[in-house]
Structure 1
Amino acid sequence: MMQQLPRRPLALGIATAVLGIASTSLQAETPAEAIFAGGCFWCMEPPYDRQPGVTATISGYTGGELENPTYDDVSSGDTDHIEVVRVEYDADQISYEQLLDIYWRNIDPFAVGRQFCDVGDHYRSAIFYQNDEQRELAEASKEAMDERFDETITTEILPADTFWAAEEYHQNYYEKNPVRYKFYRFSCGRDGRLEEVWGDEAGGPTFD
């Protein structure tokens, strides 16, 4: 089923403007969203799930034209879709800038057409922005990475496209299959490479 981004009803928006009702309470009821591609989506859920203010993480696919893509479709490399995680969060508790801080420290920002042991453009790293503010913050964070490292940052910054949720067995895989998940993560060399790039910052902070 296609996952639609939440939209504010037009009638409600007009009523709010006419009556002069503050919109902050309405916005608080609808979680903000961020979409990140960092290789295997199984591994991108845990660093966000532990953050106060993150209400949900959903593994899925975006960036391609095929409707209702399956894992087999995307992993074949025959689509333009990328594995991503959609993070739903309360912006009053955690900011988009903080989500970006976590993101960078969970990827290899120098890899081309891959992340760790997973090879293919569908595993490449990318930040999908949903509005101008997210785009500006994402670009600023990438510039900060450029200044920090001597190597070229290959992570893309792209406009958000239709998000398709992955199959149910992929959701919260690290909780459903902890032994298999840990074996995969270790054998893929993810943590070792993160430590090479980020040192003590690998995995990102946990914000209180």
Structure 2
Amino acid sequence: MNPHLREIKAAALAMLIIVGLCVNSSRAHAAETETLVVAGGCFWCVESDFEQVKGVIAAESGFTGGTVENPSYKQVTAGGTGHFEAVQITFDPAQVSRAQLLHLFLRSVDPTDAGGQFCDRGDSYRTAIFVTDPAQKQIAQSAITKAQAALGQDIVTPILDAQTFYPAEAYHQDYHKSSEIVLTRFGPRTKAKAYKLYRDACGRDARVQELWGKDAPFTSGS
């Protein structure tokens, strides 16, 4: 065989091996991640809370549970679509488990309120946990049972079959840390500052702290 041709074949074989390793590595990484979809009132707040958790790779604001395809924020908050404001949490189960995330979730909301969350009222702001199979449902039910025993009050957060998750508009993603300027009732503010003002005014942390005390994972008093 021509030495030059032999070198070309060897190089091509090496390239194929490298590509194969990259594909396998990508598949392995994808297999290592899982997703959890929860509704906890304002999705900015849930996204902000769970991005702090070790093992969480991403948290994306969106909508799920309704009948309208690819709804807008305006449609959902106006009512009638059946959608919840929700967050899709992508996580590494080797670092944090589904059960641990649900433990944190239930203690970061008011799971005794069936009419919304804090200052946000209406169906789109209700709490919920979405599951895809019996195993996930069992984990969610166990988390609710433990939270109810710890709280000493009935928890009304339902466990619902997962439906299509629709990401919210780009405007809403990472709202809590954006430096983009928006006009608020307090005047021009960065989104990050506007988010903080909204969260404080809505009473989220105060109510969670009142309910859960030292077990509230994301409030300044915990």
TM over 0.5: yes
The letter of the residue matching 2:126 is R
3-state secondary structure, aligned to 1:45: helix
Listed as ranges, the gaps of 5+ residues in structure 1 are 1-22
1:47–1:102 Cα contact (<8 Å) kept: no
**Structure 1 equivalent of residue 54 of structure 2:** 52
Q: 1:198 to 1:60 in 2, by over 3 A?
A: same
The alignment status of 1:74 with 2:76, answered yes or no, reads yes
**Percentage identity across paired residues of the two chains:** 42
Give the aligned residue type for 1:203: P
Q: Please, which of 115, 118, 121 is the counterpart of residue 119 of structure 1?
A: 121
Residue by residue, what CA displacement relative to the aligned partner does 1:98-150 show, whole Å, maximum 9, x if unpaired? 11111011100111121000000110000001222211000011111222233
Among residues 97, 102, 105, which one is paired with 2:104 in the alignment? 102
Equivalent residue for 1:173? 175
Superposition RMSD in Å: 1.9
Task: Look up the equivalent residue of 2:72 and give its one-letter code.
Answer: T
Paired position in structure 2 for 1:138: 140
Say yes or no: does 1:191 pair with 2:193: no
Aligned partners of 1:110 and 1:151 also within 8 Å: yes
Corresponding pairs, count: 183
Contact 1:34 1:86 in 2 (8 A): yes
Q: Report the Cα offset of residue 29 of structure 1.
A: 2.4
TM-score by length of 1: 0.83
Mark the runs of 5 or more structure 2 residues left unpaired by the alignment: 1-23, 179-190
| More helix per residue | 2
Matches of 1:125 and 1:107, distance apart in 2:
8
Q: Once the 2 structures are TM-superposed, how far is the Cα of residue 27 of structure 1 from its aligned partner?
A: 5.1
Q: Distance in 2 between matches of 1:116 and 1:178?
A: 20
Q: Match for residue 93 of structure 2?
A: 91
